[in-house]
Amino acid sequence: GDSVTQMEGPVTLSEEAFLTINCTYTATGYPSLFWYVQYPGEGLQLLLKATKADDKGSNKGFEATYRKETTSFHLEKGSVQVSDSAVYFCALSAGSYQLTFGKGTKLSVIP
């Protein structure tokens, strides 16, 4: 079945550091890929998405590129801020209405 594997956290970075959260997937066909963010005490919000190979999703300084050859969708940001502290979920949709989520990676950014 479909699955998403993302790097385990927690991840602690200093402000202005470079962020990478790895995400790889297994799916039949050609899935769409997503990154969701969950701030403390809140629901999930879509951060970015990509629907086909080589697409780059971007939002709020975050980027991720859909790499079909490596089945990956790694999340990157060049300079993190304290306000980026949250849990980040990689997810895919491969032909149904549902999303298949990774386990989440908690990011803490310290001043």
Partner 1 sequence: NAGVTQTPKFQVLKTGQSMTLQCAQDMNHEYMSWYRQDPGMGLRLIHYSVGAGITDQGEVPNGYNVSRSTTEDFPLRLLSAAPSQTSVYFCASSKGQALSGNTIYFGEGSWLTVV
Other Cβ atoms closer than 10 A to 35:
25
Contact predicate 75/25, CB 8 Å: no
Q: How far is the CB of 3 from partner 1 (least distance, A)?
A: 10
Q: Side chain identity at 26, as an amino acid letter? A: T
| Residues 75, 71: Cα–Cα separation, whole Å | 13
Q: How far is the CB of 92 from partner 1 (least distance, A)?
A: 9
Q: How far is the CB of 103 from partner 1 (least distance, A)?
A: 5
Number of helices and strands (H, E) in the chain?
0, 12
With respect to partner 1, which residue has the nearer C-beta, 16 or 52?
52
With respect to partner 1, which residue has the nearer C-beta, 17 or 65?
65
With respect to partner 1, which residue has the nearer C-beta, 55 or 76?
55
Q: How far is the CB of 81 from partner 1 (least distance, A)?
A: 23
Q: Side chain identity at 108, as an amino acid letter? A: S
Interacting residue ranges for partner 1, rule: CB under 8 A = 4, 31-32, 34, 36, 42-46, 49, 51, 89, 93-99, 101-104
Q: Token pair for residue 14?
A: 């200093």
